[in-house]
Chain A
Amino acid sequence: MLIATCVALVVLLALAGFTIDVGRMYLIRNELQAYADSAALSAALELNGTDSGIAQSCAAANRLATGPNAMRWDLGTQPITNVTASFSGDAKSWQEHPKQAGDLRFVRIVVAEPAPVIFLRIFQPFSSVNVAAAGIAAKTSASARLIR
């Protein structure tokens, strides 16, 4: 009886912990998705066919993660730091550091942050699990729109 209770209790607590960790990951993904969408739009708006446009578009994406209204993750407590911007002319092949800025009109923002896990930590070596979100936006003649 005692052994059965102990086993059941461990399983029960592990399951409860698992739900909390996974729930937290989904929450973080939602926060990062909001950032990725907004950053992709901001970056696409800055594209103008020149190299300085590429630089400005990276800066615009990073600007959303700083300042008084910065977007954050983990229930709005952690600053967003791991952002990758890549560019494309056809939304198929992506380059992080494009050599020709000429016809690039798509921007993809990938943001990946290490979501801390409390209960999954018993399965070392995980002390965090990477949670990522991506947003793609296209520059149009006067504005920009989200693709995905």
Chain B
Amino acid sequence: MTRKPTRAGSALIEFAGSLVLLSGVFAGVFQIGYTFYNYNALVSAVRAGARYASLEQANPASDAEAAQAVKNMVVYGDPAPVGNAKPVAPGLTPSHVEVTLAPKSASVTLRGFELETVFAKVKLDGRPAVTFPVTGGAEQ
């Protein structure tokens, strides 16, 4: 006597196969979205830092101090952050920010920062980069 063949087992195998496939796809979509989200935040942060530098450069206390304030502005959104301030992107520290203060312009970019995006790392060296002309804060 033989048992009638059923289709219950093949459904399980199909489910397992599609689960692997779909998890991969969703992980990929998450990865890309998370990278975009963080990069977007970094573009805005670097822009804010460069604009801050372009407004404040008219009366800097000293170059090193001014550069540090700009770096804090990029990383924490605040030139003088409080102790428990959180960086705009995970792992970002002021040492990753490169500030170039020229007489007429202020450039801000990231150097040697690796963006952790759960499944992979994105190396950001020289991007995002934003330059603003020095306008001074008096007229704002």
Pick from B43, B131, B136, B138: contact of A31, CB below 8 A.
Answer: B43
Q: How far is the CA of A84 from the CA of B134 in the complex (A)?
A: 22
Whether A86 is near chain B, meaning CB under 8 Å from some CB there, is: no
Contact with A along B93-115 (1 / 0, CB 8 A): 00000001000010101000000
A27 touches B36 (CB 8 A): yes
Bound Cα distance A147, B99 (Å) = 26
Once bound together, how far apart are the Cα atoms of A16 and B28, in whole Å? 10
Residue contact B39 to A19, C-beta cutoff 8 Å: no
Q: Is the C-beta of B84 less than 8 angstroms from some C-beta in chain A? A: no
**For chain A, what secondary structure do more than half of its interface residues adopt (helix, strand, loop), or is it mixed?**
helix
A residues engaging B (CB < 8 A)? 5, 13, 16, 19-20, 23-24, 26-27, 30-31, 34-35, 37-38, 41-42, 45, 60, 64, 69-72, 75-77, 140, 142-145
**Min CB distance, A78 to chain B, in Å?**
11
Chain B residue with Cβ nearest A43:
B133
Write out the residue numbers on chain B whose beta carbons fall within 8 Å of the beta carbon of A143. 135-136, 138-139
Using a Cβ cutoff of 8 Å, how many contacts connect chains A and B? Answer: 84
| Residues of chain A within 8 A of B54, CB atoms compared | 41
Interface centre among A13, A27, A37, A76 (most CB of B within 10 A): A76
For A72, what are the chain B residues with a Cβ–Cβ distance below 8 Å? 127-129
Q: Which of B29, B33, B128, B133 is the one whose CB lies under 8 Å from A41?
A: B133
- 0 or 1 for each of B16-40: is its CB under 8 Å from A? (1 = yes): 0010000001100100110010011
Once bound together, how far apart are the Cα atoms of A34 and B127, in whole Å?
13
Contact B109 A38 (CB under 8 A): no
> With the chains together, A71 CA to B130 CA distance in Å?
6
Contact B44 A71 (CB under 8 A): no
B residues less than 8 Å from A77 (CB atoms)? 127
